[in-house]
Structure 1
Amino acid sequence: MRVFRVGDKVEVCSTEEGFVGSYYEATIVSILKDGSYKVRYKNLVEEEDDSKLLVEKASADEVRPMPPRIQGKGTRFYSYLDKVDAFDNDGWWVGIVTGIDGFKYSVYFESSRDEIAYPVSRLRRHLEWSSDGWVFT
C-alpha cells in the first residue's frame, strides 16, 4: 500500500450510499496514528458553511494518487464501449461510452442506470490503481 505525505494531491473513493465508486480530488492535510489520512477536498464544501472546503478522515484503502492525464489519439478521444470517468457532481464517476455525437459522448453509469452526454473536456480514460501502478480496465 502506498504511503502519502502531507501536501500530496490524491483522490478519495467515496463509500457513502449513492456515491460508492466515485472519486474526489483532495490534498493530504495530516497522517493519523492509525494509518489513515485527514484530507481537504478540492471541490467539496462543509454542509454548515459552504465557504469552507470539507476536511475529513479517509482510510488508507480509500486514497489513491492522482491518475495520469492520457491524451486521446487522432480526431476521436474515446470509442464506443470505452470505460471512462466523467466529472459530475464535484467528482469522477465510472461509466461506459454508449454514443458519440461530434465531441459529445454519451456515458452510461451502471450504478444509477443513467445515460448522460458530456463534452470531451469532462471525461478521462478510466484507470484502476493497484500496488503495481495504474492499470487500464
Structure 2
Amino acid sequence: MEENISVRKYVEVCSKEDGFLGSYFVAKVVGRVGKERLKVEYTTLVSEEDENKRLREVVPARDVRPCPPTIEVAEFHELQKVDAYDREGWWVGRVIGRVGGGDEKYCVHFDSTGDKLVYSGSMLRVHQEWEDGIWVPSREEVNLHGFA
C-alpha cells in the first residue's frame, strides 16, 4: 500500500474472507487507524445490520491498493488474464474463448474456484499488477497446455 493514500481517496481492498479470497472491492478511505490500518467505506457492499448503510471496516493497509487506471481495448483475446466484475467486486481470471455471435461475450476461467462463467466485454478489464508503486499490465507468460 502506498504511504500517501489519503482520506477520501478511492481504493481497492483485497478480501481475505472464505469464498472471496483474492477478489478486490472498491472503497473510499474514511480514516487512518495508526500507521498500519485504514478505515474504509465500500461503494457496493452494505452493512449486515442496516442494508441502507454502506459497509465500513478497518483493514490492514497492506490489503489496500489504488484503483487501477483504465486500459481501453477493442477486444479481449484467448488466454488473456483479465479482471471480471461479479458479486460487487473484481475477480482475476483468464479468457478461454468467445461466446455467441454479435455481442462481445467471453468465457472466463477462474483458477481460484475452477468456475467458467460468461461475461460481456463491458464487465471485464485488463488485469494489472501493482508493483513498486506503479500499475503494470500483466506480462504473465501463458503455458499453451494449460493455465499459467
TM-score over 0.5 for the alignment? Answer: yes
Give the Cα–Cα distance (whole angstroms) in 2 for the partners of residues 64 and 33 of structure 1: 17
Aligned residues: 134
- Does residue 2 of structure 2 align to residue 2 of structure 1? yes
**Distance in 1 (alpha carbons) for counterparts of 2:67 and 2:133:** 15
Kindly report structure 1 stretches of 4+ aligned residues shifted beyond 6 Å. Answer: none
Deviations 1:53-102 (Å, cap 9, x if unpaired)? Answer: 000011111000000000004xxx10000000000000000000001134
Equivalences for residues 40-119 of structure 1 within 5 A: 40-73=41-74, 77-101=75-99, 102-119=103-120
Q: Which residue of 2 aligns with 1:120?
A: 121
Q: Aligned residue for 2:14?
A: 13
Gapped regions of structure 2 (runs ≥ 5): 139-148
RMSD (Å) for aligned C-alpha atoms: 1.1
* Partner AA of 2:63 in structure 1: E
Contact kept in structure 1, 2:10 and 2:67, CA below 8 Å: yes
Equivalent-residue separation in structure 2 for 1:132 and 1:5 (angstroms): 15
Matched residue SS, 2:16: coil
Match of 1:121, SS state, is: helix
Deviation of residue 46 (structure 1)?
Answer: 0.6
- Unaligned 5+ segments in structure 1 are none
State the TM-score, normalizing by the size of structure 2: 0.87
Identity within the alignment, %: 46
- Contact 2:2/2:133 (8 A) holds in 1: no
Q: How far 1:130 moved relative to its partner?
A: 1.6
**Structure 2 partner of 1:131:** 132
TM-score, normalised by the number of residues in structure 1: 0.94
